[in-house]
Amino acid sequence: MNGKKELKLFEPYEVGDLVVFLTGEDSANVIDADCRWELQTTTTGCNCCTYRFRSRLDKDFKCRHMKALLEVLKAY
> Given the rule CB under 5 A, which of 6-14, 16-24, 60-68 is the region that contacts Zn ion?
60-68
Among 20, 28, 48, 72, binds Zn ion (CB under 5 A): 48
Q: Beginning with the edge strand found earlier in the chain, give each strand of the sheet holding 18-22 in spatial order.
A: 12-15, 18-22, 27-32, 39-42, 45-46
Spatial CB neighbours of 65, under 8 Å, sequence gap ≥ 6? 18, 30, 32, 39, 41, 46, 48, 51
Task: Return the range that interacts with Zn ion (CB under 5 A); candidates 3-11, 13-21, 39-47, 54-62.
Answer: 39-47
Q: Given candidates 13, 20, 65, 68, which one binds Zn ion under the rule CB under 5 A? A: 65
**51 near Zn ion, judged by CB under 5 A:** yes
